[in-house]
Amino acid sequence: LMFAEKTSLDLSGLTAPVTVWLGGDDRMNGPDDVRRMLKNIPVADFRLFPGEGHLVAITRFGEMMEKLKREAG
């Protein structure tokens, strides 16, 4: 939605490192767009999944939850 409406989201106040999960074939938020959006925030882990599209949060949901559980201790 951010890119479709030509608006931006100010993430400059974000200080905690983030993990990014991105489908390499995402046509809504391509890798270049996402890297541009992340240029001013700390990225701990950038996970690019070649051949996957916009629904990485669904197709990789189990992996995401396992990572969160591990990191939460």
**Which percentage of the chain shows pLDDT scores above 70?**
88
Predicted confidence at residue 58, as pLDDT, reads: 93
The CA–CA distances, whole Å, from 64 to 13, 49, 61 equal: 24, 13, 5
C-alpha to C-alpha distance for 57 and 7, rounded to whole angstroms: 23
pLDDT in tens, 10-39: 777 888 888 899 999 999 888 888 888 888
Predicted confidence at residue 22, as pLDDT, reads: 93
Prediction pTM value:
0.73
- For the record, the structure tokens of 37 come out as 């959006």
